[in-house]
Amino acid sequence: MRALARIVAEADGRGGTRLARLRGEPPLQLRHTPDGSGAATVHLIGSAAGPLGGDDLRIEIEVGAGAVLCVRTVAASIALPGRDGSRSRVSVTAAVAGGGELRWLPEQLVAAAGCHHLALSTVELAEGARLLWREELICGRHGEQPGDAVISTSVNYGGAPLLRQSLTVGPATPGWDGPAVLGGSRATGSLLHVDPAAAPGGPEVLGPTAVRLPLSGPATLVSATADDAHRLRGFLER
């Protein structure tokens, strides 16, 4: 299955944000869910199981100057194997203008046994843009080993690289659950916070398996592993 979802958010001139475009295709359904704030909140609703092997799903986001957009999902997504063993792919591309803000706060991705999944995220931030970007991966459903999954994220700020990170888990990757990677943890994730107005800070240990680090730009990155999704979210909540 191939599908495209597109969100364009613009400042409405009255201190709020309007959605200039909100378009989805099954299984990527979009719903505007106002919360009374100046931000526009959109929930992504999966209208079918998956992603399944063979799916190619794309999400495109554009945030204009002065606009604030928050994107969430209503439930975790489960990467499932296809009948022919083909790979599933979900790609997210986002562009945020100066003075704009994007909050990408989906629920977890679960790499189910037998899956072959690729998740690619590319974010372009203009000078003065703000970003809150959360990613969480759960290695397998309860009582099962995970399939193969690659989570890759690229973020630029003002035309310069800000973050490049990639994680590969699953039986096709030797050592993925060893001490140099997840150390036997079943859940892992990160929270990238970009804010040019925030005061710079130093490294901070948040727990035995979680740390906040400053990046070479107006940003910090929280990286964490945990035994389960609940403990992981505790490290990444803001």
How many CB atoms neighbour CB 205 within 10 A?
9
In a domain, 223, yes or no: no
In a domain, 7, yes or no: yes
pLDDT in tens, 80-122: 998 888 999 999 999 999 999 999 999 999 999 999 999 999 9
* pLDDT on residue 47: 66
In a domain, 54, yes or no: yes
* pLDDT on residue 76: 93
**Do the beta carbons of residue 215 and residue 167 sit within 8 Å?**
no
pLDDT in tens, 11-68: 999 999 999 999 999 999 999 999 888 899 999 998 677 799 999 999 999 999 999 9
In a domain, 233, yes or no: no
In a domain, 49, yes or no: yes
In a domain, 138, yes or no: yes
Report the domain count for the chain. 1
In a domain, 210, yes or no: no
pTM comes to 0.95
* pLDDT on residue 199: 83
pLDDT in tens, 186-228: 999 999 999 999 988 889 999 999 999 999 899 999 999 999 9
* pLDDT on residue 91: 98
What is the SS3 assignment for the chain?
A: CEEEEEEEEEECCCCCEEEEEEECECCEEEEECCCCCCCEEEEEEECCCCCECCCEEEEEEEECCCCEEEEEECCCEEEECCCCCCCEEEEEEEEECCCCEEEEECCCEEECCCCEEEEEEEEEECCCCEEEEEEEEEECCCCCCCCEEEEEEEEEECCEEEEEEEEEECCCCCCCCCCCCCCCCCEEEEEEEECCCCCCCCCEEEECCEEEEECCCCEEEEEEEECCHHHHHHHHCC
Q: Which residues contact 70 (CB under 8 A, 6 or more apart)?
A: 39, 40, 41, 42, 102, 103, 105
Percent of the chain whose predicted confidence (pLDDT) is above 90: 89
Can you give the residue range of the structural domain that contains 167?
Answer: 2-182
In a domain, 206, yes or no: no
